[in-house]
Copies of this chain bind each other. A is one copy, B any other.
Amino acid sequence: MTRFQPKNPDYRAIATDTFEQQRAMKTLGISIARLEPGEVDLAMDYSLDLTQQHGFIHAGVITAALDSTCGIATFTLMPAGAGILTVEFKTNLLAPARGERFAFRATVVKSGRTLTVCEARAYAAHDGVETLIATMSGTLMALPGREGARKDRALAPV
């Protein structure tokens, strides 16, 4: 249960479908762990292919997962036919992304007619201990019906 009421009764199918169309998520090995209105968790296993120079997961990969988490959480609250795009986000990195498995948890802070503000946190599970490794705050924009369907507008917020 979340405090948000989805506008689209099919939110679950459509949000899941949108995530699955993100081929970058497949490439990075990221999947949906939980999906509620306004709240989405993603999960990712450690992979050497995603590391920086010290063998930890690259901050950009962590950010990609956090961005998708926020995007899908925002998407669950959109009316039917609407698209969304990311306007901006900030990531703070708190600890090395060291672990066997990673969790990314987004919560919508405010869902407006045009803009949504979303916050997300990344956690690393290492030897059975979960550590907060990064935070994100981001802004996303709704593209109403007809416009949301126009592919060429889809990621052009300004």
Q: Tell me the A residues contacting B by CB distance below 8 Å.
A: 18-19, 21-27, 48-61, 63-68, 85-98, 109-117, 119, 132, 135, 137, 139, 141, 151-158
In the bound complex, residues from chain B placing their C-beta under 8 Å from that of A96 are: 152-156
Q: List 7 A-B contacts (CB under 8 A).
A: A27-B49, A58-B67, A86-B93, A87-B92, A88-B93, A90-B91, A94-B158
Q: For chain A, what secondary structure do more than half of its interface residues adopt (helix, strand, loop), or is it mixed?
A: mixed
In the bound complex, residues from chain B placing their C-beta under 8 Å from that of A112 are: 94, 156-158
Q: Give 5 closest A-B pairs by Cβ, nearest first.
A: A60-B64, A112-B158, A24-B58, A96-B155, A21-B53
Contact of A151 among B25, B55, B132, B153 (CB under 8 A): B55
In the bound complex, residues from chain B placing their C-beta under 8 Å from that of A88 are: 88, 90-93, 139
Decide: B139 and A87 in contact? CB cutoff 8 A: yes
**How many monomers of this protein are in the complex?**
4
Contact of A115 among B22, B98, B110, B141 (CB under 8 A): B141
**Cα separation A33 to B87 with both chains bound (whole Å):** 27
Q: Besides A53-B154, A88-B91, A89-B90, 19 other CB < 8 A contacts? A: A23-B52, A24-B51, A24-B52, A26-B49, A27-B50, A59-B67, A60-B60, A60-B61, A63-B91, A86-B93, A87-B93, A88-B88, A90-B91, A94-B156, A97-B155, A110-B158, A112-B157, A114-B114, A114-B141
Decide: A117 and B67 in contact? CB cutoff 8 A: no
Decide: B89 and A91 in contact? CB cutoff 8 A: yes
**Cα separation A142 to B57 with both chains bound (whole Å):** 19
